[in-house]
Structure 1
Amino acid sequence: MEKHWLKSYPPGVRAEINLNEYASLKELIERGLAVHSVRDAYVQMGKAMTFGDLDVLSARFGTFLQTTCGLKKGDRIAIMMPNTLQYPIAILGALRAGFTVVNTNPLYTARELEHQLTDSGATVIVILENFAHVLQEVIAHTPIKHVVVSSVGEMLGFPKGQIVDFVVRHKRKQVKPFSLPGAKSFKQALKEGSGVRLAAVKLNHDDIAFLQYTGGTTGVAKGAMLTHGNMVANVLQALEWIGPVFPRDPATLVTALPLYHIFALTANCLLFVIVGWRNVLITNPRDFPAFVSELKKYKFSYLSGVNTLFNALLHTPGFDKVDFSSLTITLGGGMAVQEAVAKKWKEVTGKILTQAWGLTETSPAACINLPGEDFNGSIGFPIPSTEISIRDDDGNELGINAVGEICVRGPQVMAGYWNRPDETAKVMIGKDLLRTGDIGRIDERGLVFIEDRKKDMILVSGFNVYPN
């Protein structure tokens, strides 16, 4: 297919990224940590951690995994944490040490957790104490051998950390009793990794960085194999597309979406390691009054979220008093942004809500609207190095504005589903074209519009009928 959308690209945005810029996420991470060492990398509840701190602490955590836990390249580690300082330390440490990260939703039921740990073969888990009782229920039926249990306040320093943990445990009663013999605290893990240098490991684009679990386009949760090449590609694609509107000086972004979710993982965590911004973590985004009071403390330039989050913020008292003067880009993904929410967002903040689209299987970004263009109901243009085609049920390509299944080809498309070749075969056309399960069309400019979800389709008198 001719990439007719390239004619709509703004000046300065290249059609293709240079995937060879980084050999792996490890190289991308280590270069970013070194270049930005004196800047603040993350802030949680007012406690800042510089890129230099993150470099040292993530290396220690990686060393702990290599030495105490005895992990070898490609072994899996599960991380079941909300947005705390421990999360970037653990994830960057694991990636630098050559391991595969299994992001695990802290809200999982015991059955869901057991399935993911067993299916992935993870032997180490880092978990917040609030969810440790769930792990206790199933750990005997999983391959887990090493457990690191942390608390919300563990990295916040004295006395803030102690106060936060007291409130979480005793006032809010959010930590149920649990018993996990042999479990270590996060600080103990860092201590055990501090005496030895992180062992060098050679990684390339084909090595698996993440098993990112998803219901996929259908059915039971499957681990999408996202390689170092997939993730490097998507970071560079996002940077090429939205980077031109970023302020030149180091700025601040706000991360309310959980970092274990693929959207925030790429667009908030990994992207800003190379950009070098200060990342303000919102540990409990459901507490909207506290979220808004946190927003009032910073002049922030970037905010990502989902439609429900933006809508809730707009209805939280005091949100209209936040200083939006520095806000350059608000990125909406994960679900469709509603027109009413986008309009209200512009009314209240004076800024445009830019809709993006992708899926776990594409690491995740595949289409993003042009930053600065008013809401148009589309999911945007295919981003650099990405080909979007619309196909019928037999896999034949359809023309402009014809409605069919949206298919994606590009360096961000997953390597397949972990240990599920049959499921992989269902979503791939040939080796590299992914069927997304979304029904849509592409217009004359190259904007892509979603019309429906394929799996919601029913047959009526021989016609394909969609609920929308």
Structure 2
Amino acid sequence: MSQDRPWFKSYPQGVPHEVDMDEYRSIVSVFDTAVSKFSDRPAFSNFGKSLTYSDIEVQSRHFASYLLGELKLKKGDRVAIMMPNCLQYPIAIFGILRAGLTVVNVNPMYTARELKHQLIDSGASALLVVDNFGHTVQEVVASTPLKQVITTGLGDLLGFPKGALINFVLKYVKKLVPDYDIPGAIRFKDTLTLGRMHKLPEIDIDSEDIAFLQYTGGTTGVSKGAMLTHRNMVANMQQSGVWVGNGLDFGNEVIITALPLYHIFALTANGLVFMKLGGLNHLISNPRDMPGFVKELQKTRFTAITGVNTLFNGLLNTPGFDQVDFSNLKMTLGGGMAVQRAVAEKWKKVTGVTLVEAYGLTETSPAACINPMDLKDYNGAIGLPIPSTDVCLKDDAGVTITTLGEVGELCIKGPQVMKGYWQRPEETANVMDAEGWLHTGDMAKMDEKGFFYIVDRKKDMILVSGFNVYPNEVEDVIAGMEGVLEVAAIGVPDEKSGEAVKVFVVKKDPALTAEQVKAYCRENLTGYKQPKTVEFRADLPKTNVGKILRKELRDPSPPAEVA
């Protein structure tokens, strides 16, 4: 299948089959080019304050100089960042990379146990943390290799009086900043002052140097660091850039960045692709505050937005969203989890713009397949393999499937595929075969036009009397019901059929009954796919990015903590 690449005939006009891998040697050279082209353009904004490309250049240089000159870090050392979206994020990322160091993105919602594992596993020398999560760091700092903790308040770069006011409200009014004490910690603003006293040396950054240790797999066992090189990230920026960049206006795009930059989707799609385009990333620090998020959208002339299904669904169900001005919106990109038809169709109806689904993994930096940007309507596919990317389907024996429409494990090959898992050769060997294919664990099929469709996660599949039931399909059907806000499906043990389908539903209509859900499923699903049990919940367990955690729903004990 990979030989004839049927997807090329469905490529949008103007999209090349291959991308130029040698245009940039590193993320730093992409950054330098963007700064020289767009120096006075706004690059990142948050809480009404904007920083230009030139501002980011100056401040990231000072941070890089601090890391090398004051902390005496050496090329390849790891620096962790534990923050939501805020102006400190891009300064830190580009500072770390310009210093020839590796960024370790940390989910700020981590428990002390999860944080400790990641800091020890990555061997991070320094950690930048926002005050809200300082108490978690305090618990573990003594048992990690950290040499320096750098702290910052969410309002620290917003200027006076706004910054001081935001910090005050977060700590004393909303009580979101528990007290903490980390001996020897330094404030982020002080690192920039100290950095000014050092000249940033010329650092030779090779395309094979590790840019990011991006942790993944926390939901399937111990969290592993995917080694993403400068080449991986630049390749994916180039691949995604030629795909989504058609019809975008260099220097004038405004993208809403609500998914956290510590997540690979926003990091590449928003942070890198739109930096190359000279766009403005409008950072949303707390997208869970949906009414606040909608108010922010009402004040912003945005041209693009990325998100996951739960984020789009949340917006559509928040009062005032339909009053947002969508006249400038050109692009909506959904990824990170399956986009549901009901959500996509409602999004198109409210905004006038198609919700275009993309597919990727942390291990592929992340994009592997994207639907054409000129797609008229939601099509249920994850799209076409993007330039310079090969995709095939393999059966359980590892043999490539050649029959059209047959389901197999989706496997990916391309310059965006990670170097491997950090210090875990056996884990790397589990997902990368001898021919260089990355095995995704996702079951998929391909149609005659080269579009791929995810059927489900290999391990989430439910086996009912020998028949495969894919939770995505069941969820998709129930999500189309009037009174349903959210839904998740899992398999539970069953004496007669081995496994049976159980669904967890969050009601939109308080009057909704389990019998109504089952009746709707009888009309829309064949017998063995219908849920045997319907359980109503006030909410569903999710990752911090909004992916529903089926694993926690399968665990009969109530979750101790849902991040």
Normalising by structure 2, what TM-score? Answer: 0.81
Counterpart for residue 449 of structure 1? 453
Show CA shifts across 1:416-458 (max 9, x none).
Answer: 0000000000001115210000001111101000011112346
Matches within 5 A, 1:111-150: 111-150=113-152
Matches within 5 A, 1:342-421: 342-373=344-375, 374-399=377-402, 400-421=404-425
* Contact map agreement 1:213 1:224 (CA 8 A) in 2: yes
Kindly state the Cα deviation for residue 245 of structure 1 after the two structures are TM-superposed: 2.5
1:217 to 1:154, Cα distance in 2 relative to 1, 3 A:
closer
Matches within 5 A, 1:39-438: 39-215=41-217, 218-248=220-250, 250-373=252-375, 374-399=377-402, 400-430=404-434, 432-438=436-442
Secondary structure of 1:244's aligned partner = coil
* Contact map agreement 2:394 2:400 (CA 8 A) in 1: yes
Show CA shifts across 1:113-154 (max 9, x none).
Answer: 000000000010000010010011011110011010000100
199-208 or 154-163: bigger deviation = 199-208
Secondary structure of 1:52's aligned partner = helix
1:67 to 1:88, Cα distance in 2 relative to 1, 3 A:
same
Letter in 1 for 2:392: S
* Contact map agreement 1:218 1:455 (CA 8 A) in 2: no
1:43 to 1:255, Cα distance in 2 relative to 1, 3 A:
same
Letter in 1 for 2:389: T
* Contact map agreement 2:41 2:251 (CA 8 A) in 1: no
Show CA shifts across 1:323-382 (max 9, x none).
Answer: 101100000001111000001001111111000000000000000001131100010000
Kindly state the Cα deviation for residue 465 of structure 1 after the two structures are TM-superposed: 3.7
Structure having greater relative contact order (Cα 8 Å, sep ≥ 6): 1
248-257 or 138-147: bigger deviation = 248-257
* Contact map agreement 2:408 2:444 (CA 8 A) in 1: yes
Kindly state the Cα deviation for residue 252 of structure 1 after the two structures are TM-superposed: 1.0
Letter in 1 for 2:92: A
Letter in 2 for 1:219: G
356-365 or 423-432: bigger deviation = 423-432
Letter in 2 for 1:5: W
CA separation in 2, counterparts of 1:125 and 1:237?
Answer: 31
Secondary structure of 2:75's aligned partner = coil
Show CA shifts across 1:216-238 (max 9, x none).
Answer: 79421000000000000000001
Letter in 1 for 2:59: L
* Contact map agreement 2:455 2:470 (CA 8 A) in 1: no
92-101 or 243-252: bigger deviation = 243-252
* Contact map agreement 1:456 1:466 (CA 8 A) in 2: no
Secondary structure of 1:19's aligned partner = coil
* Contact map agreement 1:331 1:356 (CA 8 A) in 2: yes
Kindly state the Cα deviation for residue 26 of structure 1 after the two structures are TM-superposed: 1.2
Letter in 2 for 1:307: N
CA separation in 2, counterparts of 1:217 and 1:112?
Answer: 12
Kindly state the Cα deviation for residue 15 of structure 1 after the two structures are TM-superposed: 0.2
Letter in 1 for 2:284: I
CA separation in 2, counterparts of 1:291 and 1:434?
Answer: 37
Kindly state the Cα deviation for residue 197 of structure 1 after the two structures are TM-superposed: 2.1
CA separation in 1, counterparts of 2:224 and 2:281?
Answer: 30
Letter in 1 for 2:88: Q
Letter in 2 for 1:191: T
Q: Which protein shows a greater Rg?
A: 2
CA separation in 2, counterparts of 1:35 and 1:377?
Answer: 38
Counterpart for residue 511 of structure 2? none
Counterpart for residue 28 of structure 1? 30
CA separation in 2, counterparts of 1:458 and 1:287?
Answer: 34
CA separation in 2, counterparts of 1:73 and 1:284?
Answer: 33
24-33 or 36-45: bigger deviation = 24-33
CA separation in 2, counterparts of 1:386 and 1:215?
Answer: 23
1:160 to 1:449, Cα distance in 2 relative to 1, 3 A:
same
Letter in 2 for 1:405: E
Secondary structure of 1:91's aligned partner = helix
Secondary structure of 2:156's aligned partner = coil
| Identity across the alignment (%) | 55
Secondary structure of 2:420's aligned partner = coil
* Contact map agreement 1:458 1:465 (CA 8 A) in 2: yes
1:144 to 1:245, Cα distance in 2 relative to 1, 3 A:
same
1:458 to 1:342, Cα distance in 2 relative to 1, 3 A:
closer
Kindly state the Cα deviation for residue 248 of structure 1 after the two structures are TM-superposed: 4.8
Normalising by structure 1, what TM-score? Answer: 0.98
CA separation in 2, counterparts of 1:314 and 1:65?
Answer: 43
Letter in 2 for 1:383: I
Secondary structure of 1:254's aligned partner = strand
Unmatched segments (≥5 aa) in structure 1? none
Letter in 1 for 2:104: V
Letter in 2 for 1:415: K
Letter in 2 for 1:406: L
CA separation in 2, counterparts of 1:445 and 1:218?
Answer: 33
Which 4+ residue blocks in structure 1 deviate beyond 6 angstroms? 458-461
Counterpart for residue 5 of structure 1? 7
* Contact map agreement 1:457 1:464 (CA 8 A) in 2: no
CA separation in 2, counterparts of 1:214 and 1:365?
Answer: 15
CA separation in 2, counterparts of 1:161 and 1:59?
Answer: 23
Counterpart for residue 486 of structure 2? none
1:145 to 1:57, Cα distance in 2 relative to 1, 3 A:
same
